[in-house]
A and B are shown apart, each in its own frame.
Chain A
Amino acid sequence: MKRRVPLAMVFIVSLFMVIQYFVPLDSLAWMYQYLLDWTIIIGVFALLLGIWSLWHVSYGKIKQRAENWQYSIVTLAGLFIMIISGFIPGWGNLNNYVYEHLFYYVLVPIQATMFSLLAFFISSAAFRAFRARSILASLLLFAGLVIMLRFVPMGPVSTVVADLAGWILRVPNMAAKRAIIIGIGLGAMATAFKIMFGIERSYLGRD
């Protein structure tokens, strides 16, 4: 029973989703939107679970004086300062001074900093990938070089490079991408069938 009820629910909802894709009726569109709204509602409640989990793990580390426990203090401090600054009575809403300053002048720059690291990581990854150790790696190096010369800030070095880069992107690159996309589409459909018919049930746990 503990298994059958969730599997039956999954089957019914999956079947509904398949039907509503092919049947454009008002009532089904309404039901579809209703279900999507519920996922948002569940997500909001699940966030409380997430906060509890973060608190539990971080507090446990502090209490046990686990290795690097000091970082957990910073984590919890960040969590509570942001929550409190958003809820302080009299400050109205999330547009209050403290919350906005913490968001725009602390959180956003830190996230931008993390993102900017990507540029350096791309360089180091490209350095490793473009070593001409075999014929295939040499081809990769050549293709990468042509594409880079096409998109450097000074513009395409020559029309030959521009044409060659365009061909690489339009033909071999596009063919490979489409092959992967077709595979992903079929794989997604197979996974959907497996879940719908209860063949794939690992997401339910294995009691």
Chain B
Amino acid sequence: MKDRLKLVVFLTVIAFIIQATVAFAQSEGETADSVISEQPVTPPPKPVIVSGEDIPNDNGHKLKLNWEYPAEWNDSIVRFEIYRADSPDGDFRRLGEAAGGIFSYLDIGSKKKDDPNYMPNDQNLYYRVDAVSKSGVTVQSEIGGPFQTSGQWFHKGKVPVLIGVVLFAIFTIYFIRSARKGKDLYIRPLAGIEAVDEAIGRATEMGKPILYVLGIGGASDIATIASFTILGRVAKKVAEYQTALTVPCYDPIVMSVAQDVVRSAYLEAGRPDQYSDDLVFFVTNAQFAYVAGINGIMVRDLPATNFYLGYFAAESLILAETGNSIGAIQIAGTDQITQIPFFVVACDYTLIGEELYAASAYLGRDPLLLGALKAEDWGKAIAMVLIIVGVLATAFGWDAFREFLRVNL
């Protein structure tokens, strides 16, 4: 038993000695390796600036700088730093940086001379790109340049738009001339427009006021401008029928214009004495406070007819449902696609999209306005033809047609 124990102890000691020897040898090897790795690091190569492209169709002051760099060093580079100067030996100003693996930089300069980032057009510009490696070594490129930026007189990417505008202008002028000569222009009847007189008549019979909401758009919104026109027609009828009119406004400028429109309509109807600036008044320009104000007017005054014509956002359904709950006849119209379904559901008549813009021509039957409306119809017909041709051209791989119509903003 003792002999066995001695043998085990002996073998353990031998194993310990062998293990210690091997471990010592390994540590010696690692030390040797570490000595080898402390050799000098190879510096990364210099970036090579290959081009500086002026951005087309703009006012200048923009340049796309491109450079090349060996692919095998991509993983070693953290970033490229881009510098610009107005002469090769000038003071290079740091513009920004591009991540490693990206070999271009869009230099957007300022057009203001007193701005440190000023970038003059039609003058030589010089660039330098510094590659910064993971080990912190920075290598400068050779100076690239001279490059120049320039402004253009015409945005070539907008040629299709220009063609469309010119064509549309020709159509408009042609149809206006035709209308002036007395040509009968057929326009499709719109239920919403034809219901305007009926709605005003209803309010008159019931002895209740008419509420006209211009929406939350500014005076420069097309929908608001179209709404001014309809307001003028409605106000004239209202003045003739001697019905009460209420026009709460969201925007002070809209209020000012609307006051002028309503005043003129009352004057035209021969009832200037009935007009008061209090008919058209400012509520607030906070969206939901405006809604609360109008809903309060609806619930208290119980108007017989509500018009919602103009630019509307989330408040559309709150207004229309409140109007619905008080039993008012409601005519709505907006060019905001997301709000159209709400109006369709909650109102009696809805003018969808461009029907709102066309309403003035429908109401006035002025030949000039009808001519413009007819031009719009022809524009739609051309758009439909272009869509069909475009679909066929794309399906058959005729890319030239698609490229011709492409707008590059």
Contact = CB atoms under 8 A, between A and B. Distances in A.
Interface of A: 18, 21-26, 29, 39, 42-43, 46-51, 53-54, 56-57, 60, 67-68, 71, 107, 110-112, 114-115, 117-118, 121-122, 124-126, 128-129, 177, 180-184, 186-195, 199-200, 202-207
7 contacts: A49-B282, A54-B283, A124-B321, A182-B383, A186-B379, A189-B376, A202-B232
Given A187-B357, A199-B176, A203-B257, 15 more contacts: A18-B165, A22-B155, A24-B59, A43-B218, A43-B252, A48-B252, A53-B252, A111-B289, A114-B288, A115-B314, A183-B353, A184-B337, A188-B222, A190-B357, A191-B225
A51 to B, nearest CB: 7
A129 B172 CA distance: 39
A9 B158 CA distance: 26
B31 interface: no
Contacts of B256: 46, 49
Interface of B: 57-60, 111, 151-155, 158, 161-162, 165, 168-169, 172, 176, 218-220, 222, 225-226, 228-229, 232, 249, 251-253, 255-257, 260-261, 263-265, 267-268, 277-278, 281-289, 291-292, 296, 300, 314, 317-318, 320-321, 335, 337, 340, 342, 344-346, 352-354, 356-358, 360, 368-369, 372-373, 375-376, 379-380, 383
Central interface residue in B286, B314, B372, by most chain A CB within 10 Å: B372
Contacts of B151: 24-26
A124 B342 CA distance: 11
Contacts of A42: 253
Nearest to B257: A203
Given A68-B300, A180-B353, A199-B176, A190 B376 contact: yes
A72 B190 CA distance: 40
Contacts of A46: 251-253, 255-256
A176 to B, nearest CB: 9
B354 A111 contact: no
A182 B267 CA distance: 38
A53 B282 contact: yes
A206 B162 contact: no
B300 A53 contact: no
A182 B291 contact: no
Given A187-B358, A189-B165, A194 B111 contact: no
A120 B185 CA distance: 45
Central interface residue in B232, B255, B265, B357, by most chain A CB within 10 Å: B357
